[in-house]
Amino acid sequence: MRVVMVSKALVVGAYQRKAEALASRGVELTVLVPAYWRDRRGTQMLERAHTRGYTLRTVPLVWNGSYHLHFYPTLPRELARLRPQVVHMDEEPYNLATWLGVRAAQRIGARPLFFTWQNLLRRYPPPFRWFERAVHRACPMAIAGSQAAAQVLAAKGYPGIVRVIPQFGVDPTRFTPAASPPETSPFRIGYAGGLIPEKGVDLLLRACAGLEVDWQLLLAGEGSAARSLQALAQELGISPRVRWLGRLSSLEMPDFYRSLHVLVLPSRPRPNWKEQFGRVLVEAMACGIPVVGSRSGEIPHVIGQAGWTFPDGDPEALRRCLERLAADPTLRERLAQEGRARALAHFTMDQVAERTAEVYRLLLSGAHTAHVQDRPGCASL
C-alpha cells in the first residue's frame, strides 16, 4: 500500500513516531513536510527524530505561516513521480493546500483523504467555501480529530465515511513517569503551548498570584502575547516565581513534564475557536503528571476522570484546584496513575497508527458508503 502524507505538523520530531508506526503496518509511506512552519506561536523548524521505515522529505512551501493560503508548488510533480495509491492531506478541507493536493491526487488516479480538527460549525467566504465543497465531493473518506469535528462534517453534508482518530498519539516509551517525583517545595506548575490569548495563560498567572503555598510556574512556549503576559506577571508581583522557558524541542518535553507537580491547560473559547484536543494533556498524563484543564472544547473529553477541569475563564476556580493539589500528595499520586492508565488505554501513537492504516485499507477497498459513521468506542477520543 503506497501512501503519501502531506503534513506541516510532522515537522515536530515526536509526532514522527506515528509515521514509523504506520510503516510497521505494511504502509509504504512517504511524508512530505516543509523545512519549517511559522505561526503566531513562533517558528517550528523540522526535527528529524523518528525516521525509520519510511521516507521523510522536505518540499517547498509558498506563503509559509498563512494557515488558509499556504501550498506546496512541487506537490503535483512529487505525486507523479511517487505514484501513491493514497494521498493523505493532513490539512483542513477549506485550505488551499488541501484543494490543490486533492486535485493533484485525482490526476494520477490516487485516492485522497483529508484530516479536520474544526469543531465549530462555520461558513467560510469564497474561495475557501469552494475549496471545502470540492474537497468534500472528491474525498470518499475523512479523518476527524474529535466527535465534535465529525459532527461538523455531518452538519455540512459531507457525504463520505468519517473515522474519529486523534491526529497524533503519544509514545509511551518516551513519555514515561520520572523515577522519583520532584521535591515537594516549591509546588511546580507547568504550561506548554502557544503564548496566545485563546490559550488563557493570563488566567493561569492570575490564579497563581493568589496561591498561599510556595510555588513556581514554568511556561514553555512562544507567541504573540508573550510581552503582554510578562507585563501582567510584573503587574501581579509574581515575576520572580515565573520562569519563561521559550519554545522547547519536542524531544525535551518529557523532561519538562517530569519536572512538574501539575500541568495546566487554561484555554478559553473564542467565537471562531475552542480547544480542539490539548495534546499536552495526553503527554503529561503519559508522564504520570496530574493535569488540570478548562472546560473548553475537547479538554474534558481528553481528561475524562483522570484529572480536573474548571469553568472557562475562572481563575478563582483554577486557584482552588491548584491549592488542593498542592496540599495533597496522595491525591496527586492517584491522579498521576489514573492519567497514565488513560493515556495508555486511549491515546498511544500505535493506536492512532493502526486506526489510520485501517482507513487507508478501507479507502483502497472501494468503500464509498455515503453516510458518516465512526469507529465503535472512539467517542472518548
Is residue 374, in this structure, part of any structural domain at all? no
Q: For residue 268, what is its C-alpha cell?
A: 478559553
Residue 95: half-sphere exposure toward Cβ, Cα within 13 Å: 25
Residue range 301-314: mean pLDDT, rounded: 96
Is residue 117, in this structure, part of any structural domain at all? yes
| DSSP annotation string for 187-199 | EEEEEES--SGGG
Is residue 179, in this structure, part of any structural domain at all? no
Does residue 239 share a domain with residue 307?
A: yes
Q: What is the pLDDT of residues 74-99, one digit of tens each?
A: 999 999 999 999 999 999 999 999 99
Residue 370 has pLDDT above 70, yes or no: no
Does residue 249 share a domain with residue 116?
A: no
Does residue 131 share a domain with residue 27?
A: yes
Does residue 140 share a domain with residue 33?
A: yes
Confidence class for position 232, pLDDT limits 50, 70, 90: very high
Domain with 32, as residue range(s), is: 2-169+348-364
Q: Specify the number of domains making up the chain.
A: 2
Cα distances (Å, whole numbers) of residue 229 to 30, 196, 234: 40, 9, 9
CATH of the domain at 20: 3.40.50.2000
Confidence class for position 367, pLDDT limits 50, 70, 90: low
Confidence class for position 62, pLDDT limits 50, 70, 90: very high
Is residue 177, in this structure, part of any structural domain at all? no
Q: What is the pLDDT of residues 134-152, one digit of tens each?
A: 999 999 999 999 999 999 9
Neighbours of 243 (CB within 10 A): 12
Residue 165 has pLDDT above 50, yes or no: yes
Q: What is the pLDDT of residues 240-283, one digit of tens each?
A: 999 999 999 999 999 999 999 999 999 999 988 899 999 999 99
The reported pLDDT for the residue numbered 185 is 87
Residue range 213-229: mean pLDDT, rounded: 96
Confidence class for position 381, pLDDT limits 50, 70, 90: very low
Does residue 6 share a domain with residue 35?
A: yes
In angstroms, rounded to a whole number, what is the distance separating the alpha carbons of residues 293 and 267? 8
The reported pLDDT for the residue numbered 291 is 98
User: How, if at all, do strands 291-294 and 215-220 pair?
Assistant: unpaired
Element (H, E) at 112: strand 111-116
Confidence class for position 40, pLDDT limits 50, 70, 90: confident
Percentage of the chain beyond pLDDT 90 is 91
In angstroms, rounded to a whole number, what is the distance separating the alpha carbons of residues 281 and 287? 10
The reported pLDDT for the residue numbered 376 is 30
Residue 374 has pLDDT above 70, yes or no: no
- Average pLDDT value for the chain: 94
Residue 182 has pLDDT above 90, yes or no: no
Does residue 17 share a domain with residue 162?
A: yes
